[in-house]
């Protein structure tokens, strides 16, 4: 199966290529396409002639999006709709990645796919609008919401914490935001399986996919640091003590029961996947 992945250098796109197995993964991004001005996408899809398309590209700079609204909207709403329409016109299964930040974090329990969205920031709003835009032009599309994605490469929370821990005596990390940390390669495995389901005639719609278990940012920082063999202490602080340009939701745990019940997909516990990530970084159990 030939899978066209939109977003050539992102951590999920690279994980998809690494986990592809017998599948052929074709990744495209700049300079082949400019998602801020997504003209010619239909022609590119026609040239590649994929069996399925995964859109792993997005504007993910949460704080910068507050002042860069048009760019965030172009990548998170306009471009996904163009891709979804082009895929639908050719009868190509289309999977689009979204985020837990479409929720406000005030529900007090894991969010099911049927829960109403209520984003707190521009990033979340443009992703929520992107979901609606995709479904509006391609009802057969599958939208996969995930959360707190990190990988052994690229820029992400885990790598940032390890870099800071190596150079500081102590860290302060927010402990009142809760979610499901998700390792990119574990997510990629699930996405590849879902594409096969779509190819087999599975229905589209919304689906939540993330690593099992839950954690605060402090929990993830501590586990990353200790797992890498570092001993830098981490102190938990409230969100109010770490103001950011964009508001963050407090509890965006996703309800994962539909993925298991409908597709038989259950990702490992987040701590297990974190250990795998640290091993890929060559830092598992390292002592300094």
Which residues in 186-199 are b (16+ Cβ under 10 Å) and which e?
A: bbbbbbbebbbbbe
Rounded to whole angstroms, how far apart are CA atoms 46 and 288?
52
Closest to 56 (Cα-Cα) out of 103, 92, 8: 8
Which of these is catalytic: 101, 111, 123, 150? 123
**Distance separating alpha carbons of residues 39 and 50, to the nearest angstrom:** 18
C-alpha pair distances (Å), 239 with each of 67, 181, 203, 246, 267: 21, 18, 39, 12, 28
> For tokens 């091993």, what's the residue?
279
The per-residue DSSP string of 19-88 comes to H-TTSEEEEE-TTT--TTS-TTHHHHHHHH--SEEEE------HHHHTT-HHHHHIIIIIHHHHHHHHHH
**59 a catalytic residue:** no
- The half-sphere exposure of 237 on its side-chain side, counting CA atoms within 13 A, is 12
- Residues marked active site are found at 123
């Amino acid at each position: 199966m030939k899978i066209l992945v939109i977003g050539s250098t992102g951590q999920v796109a690279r994980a998809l290529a690494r986990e592809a197995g017998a599948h052929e993964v074709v990744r495209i991004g700049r300079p082949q396409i400019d998602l801020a001005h997504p003209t010619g996408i239909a022609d590119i899809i026609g040239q590649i002639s994929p069996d399925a398309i995964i859109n792993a590209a997005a504007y993910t700079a949460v704080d910068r999006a507050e002042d860069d609204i048009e760019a965030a909207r172009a990548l998170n709403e306009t471009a996904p709709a163009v891709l979804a329409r082009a895929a639908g016109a050719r009868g190509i299964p289309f999977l689009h990645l979204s985020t837990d930040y479409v929720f406000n974090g005030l529900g007090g329990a894991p969010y099911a796919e049927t829960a109403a969205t209520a984003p707190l920031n521009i990033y979340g709003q443009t992703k929520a609008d992107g979901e609606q835009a995709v479904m509006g032009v391609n009802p057969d599309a599958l939208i996969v919401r995930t959360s707190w994605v990190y990988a052994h490469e690229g820029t992400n929370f885990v790598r940032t914490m390890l870099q800071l821990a190596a150079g500081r005596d102590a860290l302060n990390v927010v402990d009142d935001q809760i979610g499901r940390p998700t390792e990119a390669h574990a997510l990629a495995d699930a996405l590849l399986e879902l594409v096969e389901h779509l190819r087999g005639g599975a229905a589209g719609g919304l689906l939540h996919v993330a690593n099992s278990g839950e954690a605060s940012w402090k929990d993830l920082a501590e586990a990353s640091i200790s797992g890498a063999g570092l001993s830098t202490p981490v102190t938990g602080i409230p969100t109010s003590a770490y103001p950011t340009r964009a508001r963050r939701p407090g509890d965006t745990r996703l309800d994962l029961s539909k993925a298991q019940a409908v597709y038989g997909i259950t990702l490992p516990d987040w701590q297990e996947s974190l250990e795998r990530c640290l091993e890929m970084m060559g830092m598992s159990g390292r002592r300094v």
